[in-house]
């Protein structure tokens, strides 16, 4: 039975839940942009996605979707709403038939305000700025900016976050130079791009992709969580029961619909020192997936999506391919029993132009101030470097620059190639699990033993990742980087350094001395590294 509402002289019909207008089906409606992207700001928008992580004190992780829709059959206008648990196969929905587009838009805005800012109150957060928080006893849905969506009417899923905004004139668009590469590199980037998008969609409760704004806000939330962990202290039990960390966790899940199984223990998902690092990695992967989709890097003939990078596959018989293939498997002290011998499948040379320039400037500036000898040097360094000139090799020796390993989940490789290593604006004096020698895990960690770094890759037997983020049909991946170590500071134990102690140029977690079993080399400044190789391997 229809519910009719008399409004300003017009009859507005609210249809029963899960009922389509007479003679209509799922595909008989057009949807429009632009989408709502901010809490409380629904005027002049025509589609919106929202999330509520907590209802009645429980982590229910629900969504609410609204849009202005028009019938393709009779041109009538409707306000459409859909809701349910994230990932629900049979969500609830309801149409409200309106007399005009403006009437449908008013009903759409009214309902969204009722779910959003009418249930919340604005507060000023030290890190996040002005934020909407639920009123006492209320469940508040927050706006979820989404680049793509899998909820709503079928036509709603074609609406991108730019739709309905002012279009850029074709002649004003920047023409992207198409990258050229060899066939093996092309295959690699295609596989990485497909897997990264698949991983991101699979990580979401509703198969969507968050916008860049949502990802950036997610990083701000993690920064706020780091600051709070510093205040609460390093007892994880205290962290998972801290009200502020619980609220920040609810906030990030409400903004980004990442999967979380119901009933899981709080220590597995609350933003504690054990979980912030994984969120950081995931946001990097989500950003890479968004870039792939927006640049059409899978379907286009430019798998790099405009990356400023030179990358070349090195066959095994190539002098540099032979060099890596011979040196890397021997660069280990064999202390990691979960990794046996490795087989190198592929090697690529990698050069990011910006990093190369910064690195060369840094090594030249440090050269005059280096001691004649270094007490601490990394293990397993090659006796000669066929990729360096004699003059470069001397500079490396005089600045304690070394070829070191950095393992990464496979789905994070694309982001590293695009952006390089991320260094935060500010290092926070907080230890994170698996990153104990830099504030908030903000330093970049390297090993002089490839098996140490392999534990952070997507190998099934890897200690830290346990195969997470792997690419079907591919091995695991590891970066080989030139790193300027200079005079290392030998850490007496795990400590979240935010700067180098006076007269030193890196942090050295020394095996048997710094409460670690294997050497860890940490830099806190971007100019101290450059990518040299990407290695695909199996074990």
Cis previous bond, 52, omega within 30: no
Domains assigned to the chain: 3-120 (no CATH), 181-284 (no CATH), 307-538 (3.90.228.10)
- pLDDT given at position 429: 63
Structure tokens at 61: 């992780």
- Number of helices followed by number of strands (H, E) in the chain: 11, 21
Q: Bridge-partner residues for 153, per DSSP?
A: none
* pLDDT digit string, tens, across residues 194-243: 999 999 999 988 888 899 999 999 999 999 999 999 899 889 999 999 99
197: nearest Cα among 207, 187, 182, 205: 207
* pLDDT digit string, tens, across residues 52-108: 987 545 666 789 999 999 999 999 999 999 999 877 789 999 999 999 999 999 999
If pLDDT is split at 50, 70 and 90, which confidence band does 294 have? Answer: confident
* Contact between 197 and 207 (Cβ < 8 Å): no
What mean pLDDT comes out for the span 157-181? Answer: 51
- pLDDT given at position 442: 77
Residue 163 has pLDDT above 50, yes or no: no
What mean pLDDT comes out for the span 29-47? Answer: 95
* Contact between 67 and 46 (Cβ < 8 Å): yes
- pLDDT given at position 295: 77
Residue 367 has pLDDT above 90, yes or no: yes
Per-range mean pLDDT, top range of 168-177, 208-217, 255-264: 208-217
* Cα 430 from Cα 433, distance rounded (Å): 10
280: nearest Cα among 416, 404, 146: 416
Residue 534 has pLDDT above 90, yes or no: yes
456: nearest Cα among 520, 513, 532: 520
* Contact between 51 and 138 (Cβ < 8 Å): no
* Cα 433 from Cα 440, distance rounded (Å): 10
- pLDDT given at position 353: 87
* pLDDT digit string, tens, across residues 429-479: 666 665 678 766 678 999 999 999 999 999 998 888 888 999 999 999 999
Residue 176 has pLDDT above 60, yes or no: no
* Contact between 205 and 86 (Cβ < 8 Å): yes
Structure tokens at 6: 């008399």
- pLDDT given at position 428: 66
What mean pLDDT comes out for the span 524-534? Answer: 96
User: Could you tell me what percent of the chain has a pLDDT over 70?
Assistant: 90
- pLDDT given at position 36: 95
Q: Is the dihedral of CA 38, 44, 45, 50 positive or negative?
A: positive
* Contact between 528 and 484 (Cβ < 8 Å): yes
* Contact between 49 and 151 (Cβ < 8 Å): yes
Q: Is the dihedral of CA 363, 367, 370, 371 positive or negative?
A: positive
- pLDDT given at position 285: 94
- pLDDT given at position 300: 72
Residue 4 has pLDDT above 80, yes or no: no
Torsion-angle region of 200 (φ positive above 0: left; ψ -120 to 50: alpha; else: beta):
alpha
Per-range mean pLDDT, top range of 75-89, 321-335, 412-426: 321-335
Q: At what angle do helices 212-232 and 243-255 cross, to 10 degrees?
A: 170
121: nearest Cα among 107, 108, 138: 138
HEC string of 184-213? HHHHHHHHHHHHHHHHHHHHECCCCEECHH
Residue 325 has pLDDT above 60, yes or no: yes
Q: Is the dihedral of CA 251, 445, 267, 463 positive or negative?
A: positive
Higher pLDDT, 301 or 531: 531
Residue 330 has pLDDT above 80, yes or no: yes
* pLDDT digit string, tens, across residues 384-394: 999 999 999 99
157, with CB counted inside 10 A (0-12, 13-18, 19+), is middle
Mean pLDDT, the chain, integer: 89
pTM score, two decimals?
Answer: 0.86
């Amino acid at each position: 039975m229809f519910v009719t509402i008399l409004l300003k002289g017009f009859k507005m019909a609210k249809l029963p839940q899960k009922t389509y207008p007479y003679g209509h089906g799922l595909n008989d409606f057009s949807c429009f942009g632009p989408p709502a992207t901010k809490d409380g700001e629904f005027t002049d928008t025509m589609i919106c996605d929202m999330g509520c992580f907590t209802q009645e004190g429980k982590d229910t992780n629900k969504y609410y979707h609204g849009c202005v829709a028009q019938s393709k059959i009779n041109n009538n206008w409707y306000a459409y709403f859909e809701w349910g648990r994230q990932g629900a196969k049979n969500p609830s929905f309801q149409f409200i038939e309106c007399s005009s587009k403006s009437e449908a838009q008013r009903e759409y805005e009214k309902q969204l305000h009722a779910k959003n800012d009418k249930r919340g109150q604005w507060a000023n957060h030290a890190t996040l700025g002005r934020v909407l928080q639920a009123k006492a006893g209320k469940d508040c849905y927050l706006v979820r900016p989404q680049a793509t969506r899998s909820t709503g009417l079928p036509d709603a899923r074609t609406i991108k976050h730019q739709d309905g905004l002012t279009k850029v004139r074709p002649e004003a668009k920047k023409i992207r130079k198409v990258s050229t590469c060899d066939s093996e590199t092309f295959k690699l980037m295609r596989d990485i791009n497909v897997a990264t998008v698949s991983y991101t969609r699979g990580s979401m409760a509703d198969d969507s992709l968050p916008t860049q704004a949502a990802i950036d806000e997610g990083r701000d939330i993690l920064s706020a969580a780091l600051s709070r962990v510093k205040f609460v202290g390093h007892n994880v039990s205290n962290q998972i029961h801290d009200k502020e960390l619980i609220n920040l966790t609810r906030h990030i899940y409400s903004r980004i619909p990442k999967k979380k199984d119901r009933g899981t223990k709080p220590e597995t998902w609350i933003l504690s020192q054990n979980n912030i690092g994984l969120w950081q990695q995931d946001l990097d992967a989500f950003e890479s997936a968004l870039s792939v989709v927006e640049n059409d890097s899978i379907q286009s003939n430019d798998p790099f999506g405009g990356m400023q990078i030179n990358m070349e596959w090195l066959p095994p018989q190539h002098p540099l391919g032979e060099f890596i293939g011979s040196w890397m498997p021997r660069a280990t002290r064999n202390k990691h029993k979960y990794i046996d011998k490795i087989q190198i499948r592929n090697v690529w040379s990698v050069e990011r132009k910006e990093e190369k320039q910064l690195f060369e400037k840094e090594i030249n500036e440090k050269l005059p101030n280096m001691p004649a000898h270094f007490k601490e040097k990394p293990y397993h360094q090659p006796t000669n470097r066929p990729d360096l000139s004699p003059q470069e090799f001397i500079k490396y020796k005089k600045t304690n620059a070394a070829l070191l390993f950095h393992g990464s989940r496979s789905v994070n490789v694309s982001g590293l190639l695009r952006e390089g290593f991320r260094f935060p604006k500010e290092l926070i004096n907080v230890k994170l699990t698996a990153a104990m020698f830099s504030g908030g895990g903000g330093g970049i960690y390297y090993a002089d033993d490839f098996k140490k770094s392999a534990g952070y890759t997507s190998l099934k037997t890897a200690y830290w990742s346990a195969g997470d983020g792997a690419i079907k049909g591919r091995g695991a991946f590891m970066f080989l980087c030139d790193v300027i170590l200079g005079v290392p500071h030998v850490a007496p134990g795990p400590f979240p350094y935010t700067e180098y102690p006076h007269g030193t140029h890196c942090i050295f977690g020394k095996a048997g001395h710094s409460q670690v079993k294997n050497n860890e080399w940490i830099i806190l400044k971007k100019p101290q590294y450059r990518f040299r190789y990407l290695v695909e391997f199996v074990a």
